């Protein structure tokens, strides 16, 4: 992980008044990335649709906790680093 990307995440968290933690709810990720819930769902589904050998660059990996989707902090940082210039 890039230190620059970590700093960017910290700034976004601070701006949105979200505490840094290991796992985020979809609404928090939408606020951080300034995207709609539909766009977030599409990004997560894009990662899920991969066959596992190569994740699409744009896909954002998530996991389910019951019926609820969650995104890990490290996954979010890696996604931002991969998609920095898009």
Q: Which domain holds residue 40?
A: 3-84
Q: What is the pLDDT of residue 59?
A: 92
Element holding 65 (H helix, E strand): strand 63-65
pLDDT digits (tens, 9 = 90+) for 62-81: 999 999 999 999 999 999 99
pTM comes to 0.85
Give the total number of structural domains in the chain. 1
Strand order in the sheet with 23-24: 23-24, 68-72, 63-65
Average pLDDT, the chain: 89
> Once rounded to an integer, what is the mean pLDDT over residues 16-26?
97
Distances (CA, A) of 5 to 46, 49, 73, 79: 22, 26, 12, 10
pLDDT digits (tens, 9 = 90+) for 38-49: 999 999 999 988
């Amino acid at each position: 992980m890039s230190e620059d990307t970590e700093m960017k995440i910290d700034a976004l968290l601070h701006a949105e008044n979200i505490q840094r933690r290991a796992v985020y709810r979809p609404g928090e990720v939408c606020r951080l990335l300034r995207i709609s819930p539909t766009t977030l769902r599409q990004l997560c589904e894009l990662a899920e649709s991969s066959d596992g050998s190569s994740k699409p660059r744009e896909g954002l990996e998530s996991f389910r906790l019951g019926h609820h989707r969650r995104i890990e902090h490290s996954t979010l940082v890696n996604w931002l680093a991969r998609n920095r210039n898009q």
